[in-house]
Amino acid sequence: MKKQAFEGISRHFFLILLVCMPCISCSIQEKEQAPNVVFFFADQLRRQSVGFHGETNITTPHLDRLAEQGMVFNQALSTFPICTPYRGMLMSGRMPAHTGIMMNWINPNPEDVWIAELFRDAGYSTGFIGKWHLNSGNKTTTGLYCQTAGDQQEKRRMEREYVAAHPESEFVPPGPYRQGYAFWAAYNFHVNFMHAYYYRDSPERLHYKGYEVDGEVDVAIEFMEQNRESGKPFFLMVAPHTPHNPWRPEDVPAEYLEKVKDTLDLQPNVDDSFMPEWKARSQQDFRVYYAMVKNIDHNIGRLMTYLEESGQMDNTIFVFTSDHGEMMGSHDRIYKMVPYEESIGIPLVYCWKGHIPAGQRTNSLFTPVDHMPTLLSLAGITVPDFADGMDQSHILLGEPGPEREEALLMNYSSHWDWCATGTRWKEWRGVRTMTHTYVKWLEGDEELYDNVNDPFQMINLAVSDKEPDLLEAMRRRQEVLLEEAHDEFLPGNGYAAWFDPRSRDVVSTALGPVKQ
């Protein structure tokens, strides 16, 4: 009798098991098919310089194809348009005042939690390739200040002495300063595009075969192939240094320079006062810039082809963007660090075939701190409470939910490498909405632009009486956003206490001393 009961239970259990097996199998399969992530971000590539945003000086067929297969954020922003602060927001998902990452060449707090660590802890293989620029590097002992030209010359002298004594100062050793990236083929900062070098796990220079971006994509494909064979999902960031200046003909392969128009089309906000300088050198400079963009386009095509031919494209979230833009003579400026669209406007495409609807565009603003929560959510990983960014995965997946309607813009220091005030790149804060840009400079000047009717920002509404209510509303919006970000809007040298004066380690933030 007991045997019969046991046999009945066994048969019953077996039937239940048969019924449940597909669900168990499905669960295992879903876990095995966690999406890969390829996050490719160029350096100083502005939104206006790609085909899918209307560029006429070059064509970008591979980037355009990626855009056609994914979703384009028409108003993606570099809210702090300079290299290290952007990277700090991207990697941490937090605002600069919460991490202390507000200028170049500093050492973030190793106790903070970073995006690669979260993917690693979820079972991902993590890799970083290219320009890191989240380390003090060759400025480790040069201090924080740059108040006069003499000070700057003295700092440069100290840099040269430090590099002479520490020739591999741009090597980032394995450990917490790599922020969770297990595979490493990177350098902190250097400029040598045709003969670029990188480091693995020892301070030994390794040279790419050929042009820097080509070599970085070679390494990226090797990394992805190794992980395909292992069956482990990967989280890979590829961060080339181009199209960052210098822009000399010898800084890019000639085949790409040949594909750029001899005389470039200029934006309407490049006015006559800039033309003498433009005619003297800038047509040549920016032809090189565009040639670098052509090379990036070529390498995006290589990555897409590899993923398609290896059968991984359907299970890979592919993101293309940039850390900030480039002024190219607009508003009498070159480079970045200013609040105009050419500086803060960046391209952004999210592609995940079968999940993100193809060929879609959104006007939701997207900021650097939004990547962490969005990517984690897409991958099914819990978003940490400390994240300051907005999870926009619902927009990507075509689901209902809010859009980002405003963002705080900022530049904490008037020099990109030191806590400084009053130099050429003066401090400012601003607000970007879906339709307008408001800016307040440290000394009190204001600017207000209607980006819909005045896309080149040539009419400053803040100096007229046309929109007094709007101007006051934008001022109030800025006050609220500054308070949320714990941003006191100090002069650049007012943040010196956030850093160790010699090592350039972050020792404090707006939230107080950091845990060492």
pLDDT > 90 fraction of the chain, expressed in percent and rounded: 78
**Which CATH number do you get for residue 352?**
3.40.720.10
List pLDDT tens digits, range 479-503.
Answer: 999 999 999 999 999 999 999 988 9
Does the pLDDT of residue 136 top 90, yes or no? yes
Does the pLDDT of residue 92 top 70, yes or no? yes
| pTM, entire model | 0.92
What integer pLDDT is reported at residue 150 of this predicted model?
66
What integer pLDDT is reported at residue 423 of this predicted model?
80
List pLDDT tens digits, range 282-306.
Answer: 788 999 999 999 999 999 999 999 9
- How many domains does the structure of the chain reveal? 1
List pLDDT tens digits, range 408-461.
Answer: 999 999 988 888 888 878 999 999 999 999 999 999 999 999 999 999 999 999
Q: CA distances (Å), 160 to each of 107, 139, 173, 444, 476, in order?
A: 20, 9, 21, 37, 46
What integer pLDDT is reported at residue 350 of this predicted model?
99
In a domain? residue 183 = yes
229: which 2 tokens?
């064979």
Does the pLDDT of residue 163 top 90, yes or no? no
Cis? peptide before 373, omega within 30° of 0: no
What integer pLDDT is reported at residue 31 of this predicted model?
47
List pLDDT tens digits, range 204-222.
Answer: 999 998 999 999 999 999 9
Name, in order, each residue with C-beta under 8 angstroms of 131's C-beta and a sequence gap of 6 or more: 43, 83, 186, 187, 188, 189, 239, 240, 241
In a domain? residue 395 = yes
Q: Which DSSP string do the residues of 276-298 spell out, in sequence order?
A: HHIIIIIHHHHHHHHHHHHHHHH
What integer pLDDT is reported at residue 465 of this predicted model?
83
In a domain? residue 491 = no
What integer pLDDT is reported at residue 158 of this predicted model?
84
What integer pLDDT is reported at residue 20 of this predicted model?
46
Q: CA distances (Å), 95 to each of 40, 107, 337, in order?
A: 21, 16, 17
What integer pLDDT is reported at residue 26 of this predicted model?
38
What integer pLDDT is reported at residue 155 of this predicted model?
81
Q: Which residue intervals of 70-211 are DSSP H helices?
A: 83-92, 96-99, 115-121, 149-165
In a domain? residue 472 = no
Q: Is 353 helix (H, G, I), strand (E, B) or coil?
A: coil
What integer pLDDT is reported at residue 85 of this predicted model?
98
Q: Per-residue pLDDT averaged across 27-34, rounded?
A: 53
In a domain? residue 27 = no
- Least confident among 140-149, 178-187, 443-452: 140-149
Identify the domain containing residue 305 by its residue range. 35-135+170-405
Mean pLDDT computed over every residue of the chain: 91
- Closest-CA residue to 324 (of 40, 47, 39, 52): 47
What integer pLDDT is reported at residue 88 of this predicted model?
99
Q: Per-residue pLDDT averaged across 307-322, rounded?
A: 98
Place of tokens 């309407």: 268
Name, in order, each residue with C-beta under 8 angstroms of 1's C-beta and a sequence gap of 6 or more: none
Type of residue found at 316: T
What integer pLDDT is reported at residue 424 of this predicted model?
78
Q: How far apart are CA 17 and CA 11, in angstroms?
A: 10
What integer pLDDT is reported at residue 157 of this predicted model?
85
- Closest-CA residue to 288 (of 253, 258, 249): 249
In a domain? residue 413 = no
In a domain? residue 504 = no
Does the pLDDT of residue 23 top 70, yes or no? no
List pLDDT tens digits, range 225-282.
Answer: 999 989 899 999 999 999 999 999 999 999 999 999 988 988 899 876 666 665 566 7
What integer pLDDT is reported at residue 275 of this predicted model?
62
N-term to C-term CA, the chain: 69
Backbone φ and ψ of 97, nearest 5°: -70, -20
In a domain? residue 223 = yes
